[in-house]
């Protein structure tokens, strides 16, 4: 392992730093493991990978480069409070000024009695189990000054945004009864997955506060046909803590799109739930957790997140 520092300022006209780590597998191994480490993003400490690499006697190198400043990157002197979050496959150093907590689709249609999932016969207790740990995460995050972003699946009253005729989005939504009128448990007139009704309100235990960001989406991913990416970049976001439902549909879709846009996604597994495939020998939730920690980001828990913030607060006092 060695470090190489050099500057690309003459080529780019701007100056920032980042590091690239490549761990080369032995010929007997089918793939090469790599990660990009950026001070403005945070240092991803893949301890388990490094340990395994030593056991394999694989060679590794780290290159530190002065290169073009990425969107919302900060000078080293301007970085905020750093906390270390225990996660798989390795611990993550989070700059809290560049981190948001995202709550995906924790709304009445998915998590409340009388909502769409409940009416369709799904076991909503799977979603409801994620509510108490998520509430603790939101309380701690707000106390630490971390921005909260809520995503809600909801459509215009005329359903003009459900997709073109014959599109998969439109077909699946009609199958679940999008737009169907109903009497909501609170006595109001509801409509399944329609904006500004009881159905698309966040569950009572996780209600947004005035300082939180709340966005509607009309596809599984919160990045599709929304200004989520622009908002996150204006905030200087680098890391996204994911909570919500369902794990393998809207959460994973949004998480993958976040990774494709070079955000660093971390799923808090106990703050998420999946009703589809919950009775399989390996549930869809478990499959998503495995894929995320192996390919798309990191997986941790609410307890580890709370512990990281507590340790960070003590270090600052």
Q: Which of 1-15, 51-65, 103-117 has the lowest mean pLDDT?
A: 51-65
pLDDT at 84: 97
> For all residues of the chain together, what is the average pLDDT?
82
Helices and strands in the chain, H and E counts: 11, 14
Does the structure show a pLDDT above 90 at 37?
no
CA-to-CA distance for 215 and 227, rounded, in angstroms?
9
pLDDT for the residue numbered 80: 67
User: Which carries the bigger pLDDT value, residue 191 or residue 41?
Assistant: 191
Task: Specify the higher pLDDT residue, 66 or 94.
Answer: 94
What is the band of 16 on the pLDDT scale with cuts at 50, 70, 90? very low
pLDDT of 15 strictly over 70: no
Residue listed under structure tokens 């590794």: 60
pTM: 0.76
pLDDT of residue 256 exceeding 80, the answer is yes
Residue 59 pLDDT > 80? no
Instruction: Give me the mean pLDDT over the 160-179 stretch.
Output: 93
Whether 272 shows a pLDDT value over 60: the answer reads yes
Lowest-pLDDT range of 138-142, 193-197, 274-278, 293-297: 274-278
Report the C-alpha gap between 80 and 147 in whole angstroms.
Answer: 14
Model confidence at 279, in pLDDT bands (50, 70, 90)?
confident
Residue of 95, 109, 217, 293 marked catalytic: 217
Point out the least confidently predicted range of 78-82, 97-101, 260-264, 290-294: 78-82
Is 105 a residue of the active site?
yes
Distance in Å from the first CA to the final CA of the chain? 36
- 201, 137 Cβ separation under 8 angstroms: no
Pick 172 or 129 by higher pLDDT: 129
Does residue 117 register a pLDDT over 70? Answer: yes
Could you tell me which residues come within 8 angstroms of residue 137 by beta carbon, excluding any fewer than 6 positions away? 101, 241, 243, 268, 271, 302, 305, 306
Assess whether pLDDT exceeds 50 at residue 172. Answer: yes
Q: Would you state the torsion angle of the CA atoms of residues 256, 87, 142, 209, taken in this order, to the nearest 10 degrees?
A: 40
Q: Which residue among 109, 250, 257, 293 is the active-site one?
A: 250
Look up the CATH superfamily of 99-316.
Answer: Isochorismatase-like (3.40.50.850)
Residue appearing with tokens 């106390």: 143
- pLDDT level of residue 280 (50, 70, 90 thresholds): confident
Domain parsing of the chain, residue ranges: 5-77, 99-316
Residue 217: active-site member = yes
Distance CA 6, CA 261 (A): 26
Name the least confident of 44-48, 61-65, 86-90, 186-190.
61-65
Task: Report residue 195 as tokens.
Answer: 């904006």
For residue 84, list its beta bridge partners: 93
Question: What sign has the CA pseudo-torsion 276, 281, 285, 290?
Answer: negative
Q: Using the CB atoms, write b or e for 62-87: b if 16+ within 10 Å.
A: eebebbebeeebbeeeeeeeebbbbb
Q: What is the pLDDT of residue 79?
A: 54
- Residue 102: pLDDT over 80: yes
Distances (CA, A) of 158 to 155, 191, 284: 8, 11, 33
Q: Which of 105, 109, 118, 257 is catalytic?
A: 105
Model confidence at 224: pLDDT above 90: yes
Mean local confidence (pLDDT), 308-313: 93
Weakest-pLDDT range from 66-75, 158-167, 224-233 = 66-75
Ramachandran sector of residue 148 (left: φ over 0; alpha: ψ -120 to 50; beta: rest): beta
**pLDDT above 90 (res 143):** yes
């Amino acid at each position: 392992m060695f470090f190489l520092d050099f500057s690309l300022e003459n080529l780019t006209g701007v100056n920032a730093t980042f590091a690239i780590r490549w761990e080369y597998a032995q010929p007997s191994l089918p793939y090469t493991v790599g990660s990009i480490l950026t001070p403005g993003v945070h240092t991803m400490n893949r301890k388990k990978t490094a340990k395994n690499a030593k056991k394999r006697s694989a060679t590794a190198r780290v290159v530190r480069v002065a290169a073009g400043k990425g969107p919302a990157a900060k000078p080293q002197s301007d970085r905020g409070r750093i906390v270390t979050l225990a996660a798989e496959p390795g611990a993550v150093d989070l700059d809290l000024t560049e981190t948001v907590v995202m709550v995906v689709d924790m709304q009445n249609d998915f998590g409340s009695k009388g909502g769409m999932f409940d009416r369709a016969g799904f076991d909503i207790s799977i979603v409801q189990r994620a509510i108490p740990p998520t509430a603790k995460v939101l309380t701690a995050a707000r106390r630490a000054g971390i921005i909260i972003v809520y995503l809600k699946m909801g459509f215009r009253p005329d359903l003009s945004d459900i997709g073109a005729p014959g599109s998969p989005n439109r077909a699946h939504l009609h199958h679940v009864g999008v737009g169907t009128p109903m009497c909501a448990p609170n006595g109001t007139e509801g409509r399944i997955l329609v904006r500004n009704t009881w159905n698309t309100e966040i569950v009572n235990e996780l209600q947004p506060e005035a300082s939180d960001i709340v966005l509607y989406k009309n596809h599984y991913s919160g990045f599709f046909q929304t200004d989520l990416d622009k908002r996150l970049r204006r905030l200087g976001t680098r890391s996204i803590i994911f909570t919500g439902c369902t794990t393998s549909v809207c959460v994973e879709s949004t998480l993958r799109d976040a990774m494709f846009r070079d955000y660093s996604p971390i799923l808090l597994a106990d703050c998420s739930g999946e009703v589809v495939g919950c009775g399989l020998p390996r549930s869809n939730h478990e499959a998503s957790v495995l894929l995320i920690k192996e390919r798309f980001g990191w997986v941790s828990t609410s307890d580890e997140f709370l512990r990281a913030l507590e340790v960070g607060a003590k270090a600052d006092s």
